[in-house]
Amino acid sequence: MVRVARFIISGATATGTTLGTLYVLSDLWGMWYVPASIVAYLAGFLISFSLQKFWTFQDSSIEMMRIQLIAYGGIVILNLGLNTLLIFLFVEYLGLWSVVAQAIASLLIAIESFFLFRWLFRARNVS
């Protein structure tokens, strides 16, 4: 249960980082919103990876970190595709409002991500 709470807090922190960075870059510093959103997304991605690895799943090893970062990025890309597919199916075939469809898709992806990240950051015996 503690791990699930940490997972939720980590995700919320990463989302806050993304939104806060976007706000600072675009609204306060006047950067065009497109590159600002890219920088903000990358900041949230790095915060999310760091929190999930070191805090949520307590994987303090650095030996596999490069591979884990690449795999984490792959999961994020997979989730983007899955999110798009789910939104389409929920709206077009179930007739759901797009915001409700997004909420359900986000919940399903969060559950899937928890198990994938748990596998990715599993304890390893490193000698």
| pLDDT (0 to 100) of residue 127 | 43
Does 49 lie in the same domain as 94? no
pLDDT per residue as tens digits for the range 75-98: 999 999 999 999 999 999 999 999
Domain count, the chain: 2
CB–CB of 87/98 below 8 Å? yes
Low-confidence ranges of the chain (pLDDT < 70): 123-127
Does 112 lie in the same domain as 83? yes
To the nearest 5 percent, what fractions of the chain are helix, strand and coil? Answer: 80, 0, 20
Does 71 lie in the same domain as 127? yes
Does 66 lie in the same domain as 53? no
Q: Is 107 helix (H, G, I), strand (E, B) or coil?
A: helix
Does 23 lie in the same domain as 49? yes
Residue reference for tokens 């307590």: 58
User: Cα–Cα distances in Å, from 71 out to 28, 32, 67, 90?
Assistant: 34, 30, 6, 28
Does 54 lie in the same domain as 69? no
The CB density around residue 18, as the number of other CB atoms within 10 Å, is 20
Global pTM reads 0.84
Does 54 lie in the same domain as 3? yes
Domain that holds residue 51: 1-58
Does 65 lie in the same domain as 127? yes
Does 39 lie in the same domain as 71? no
Residue reference for tokens 């995700």: 11
User: Of 37, 58, 79, which one is at a domain's C-terminal end?
Assistant: 58
User: Of 58, 91, 106, which one is at a domain's C-terminal end?
Assistant: 58
